[in-house]
Amino acid sequence: MISTSHAAANPIASLKVIDSDVMINTMIEIDYRQLNTDTLENLLTEIVLREGTDYGETEYTTEEKKSQLKSALQSGKAVIIFDASNNHCDILPIK
């Protein structure tokens, strides 16, 4: 993760970047459209709350950050990744 306060202001910028052509075998891309609405909302909440509280100069509410992540998924700028090696799910931006 990027640890600068500027990057933390944007939930997408604070996440690791992956190359969509190079995924480790234990990582599975999950199409957000296949998730139940409640499941997606819970995942977005969990990821936003996992980030911590240093948001830089601009404070964003949990709902604003969830909306930013959801927009990134809908626009194809990010994907949901499940890592089977550690049973961990994350949303990562695509290069």
Look up the pTM and report it.
Answer: 0.69
Q: Alpha-carbon distance 59 to 36, whole Å?
A: 29
pLDDT tens sequence across 32-91: 999 999 999 999 999 999 876 666 678 888 999 999 999 999 999 999 999 988 889 999
| Alpha-carbon span 78 to 11, nearest angstrom | 11
The angle formed by the CA atoms of residues 37, 70 and 64, to the nearest 5 degrees, is 105
Element (H, E) at 79: strand 78-83
At 5 the pLDDT is 36
